Amino acid sequence: MTRVNEQTPLLSAHGKAHPTPLPRLQFAIVLFLQLAEPLTSNVIFPFAPQMVRDMGITHGRESQVGHYVGLLQSIFFVAEGCTVLFWSRLSDGIGRRLVIMTGLLGLSLSMFAFGLSKTFTGLVISRSLSGALNGNVGVMKSMVAEMTDDSNISTAYAYMPLAWNTGGTLGPMIGGWLYNPAKRFPNRA
């Protein structure tokens, strides 16, 4: 019988001595695909205020610009939060790859529609679709859990915020670079 005292470890080390290496290519692909969420959620930051002003939504009331921009930004996450469990359950039934590809295709089309929108209603609908079709976060976390084991899952999940931070940094940079291209790049047409 083992004596238990204050120096006895609470958890015994039954794991492997050396962690299993992560499948680098598969893991890198998942991280790359996960960039879509922060990129598309943050890319509108630089030009959304001017877009709201130019559409005449506020009827010249500058104090209302922030309200409408905030609405556009938050509708993405509300729609995503409402659909993330649906996409996760669907991926359990029809497969992760099909759900991710459907989400990325829909996300691309809805962002394209956002860029072509001429009314605030069009902006809200396309932004809602972007969020609703971007419920891939749970699916990708499931994929990471499936490609790891007990010895390396903590390392894999430690890398997951890199995708959000990278996309959160690159999204506004890309949006700012592409802002008003007709005026910024007049000789490139």
**Residue 112: per-residue pLDDT:** 93
- Mind listing the domains of the chain with CATH numbers? 24-175 (1.20.1250.20)
What is the sign of the dihedral through the CA atoms of 166, 168, 174 and 176? negative
**Residue 179: per-residue pLDDT:** 84
Q: Which positions ≥6 away from 52 have C-beta within 8 Å?
A: 58, 65, 68, 69, 72, 120
**Residue 1: per-residue pLDDT:** 64
pTM of the model: 0.81
Residues of the chain with pLDDT under 50: none
Dump pLDDT digits (tens) for 147-165: 999 888 989 999 999 999 9
